[in-house]
Amino acid sequence: MAFKIQSHNLLLPLALLFLGLLAFQASSRTLQEASMEERHEQWMVRYGRVYKDPEEKEKRFKIFKQNVEYIEGFNSAGTKPYKLGINQFADLSNEEFTASRNRFKGHMCSSISRTTSFKYANVTDVPSSVDWRNQGAVTPVKNQGQCGCCWAFSAIAATEGITKLSTGKLISLSEQELVDCDTGVDQGCEGGLMDDAFKFIIKNKGITSEANYPYKGVDGTCSANEEANHVATIDGYEDVPANSEQALQKAVANQPVSVAIDASGSDFQFYSSGIFTGSCGTELDHGVTAVGYGVSDDTEYWLVKNSWGTEWGEEGYIRMQRNVKAQEGLCGIAMQASYPTA
Active-site residue set? 150, 286, 306
Q: From CA 100, how far away is CA 15, in angstroms rounded?
A: 54
d(C-alpha 168, C-alpha 62), whole Å: 50
Q: Which of 241, 229, 162 is nearest to 198 (CA)?
A: 162
CB 94 within 8 A of CB 266: yes
Strand-pair category, 317-321 with 271-276: parallel
Provide CB contacts within 8 A for 125, sequence distance 6+: none
Residue 273: phi and psi, rounded to 5, are -165, 165
Enumerate residues 6+ apart whose C-beta is below 8 A from 17. none
Dihedral of the alpha carbons of 319, 324, 328, 333, in degrees to the nearest 10 = 0
Half-sphere exposure of 309 (CA within 13 A, CB side): 15
Euclidean distance between CA atoms 329 and 285, whole angstroms = 15
Across 76-139, the runs of DSSP E, i.e. the strands, are 82-84, 130-131
**Nearest one of 277, 268, 336 to 302, comparing CA atoms:** 277
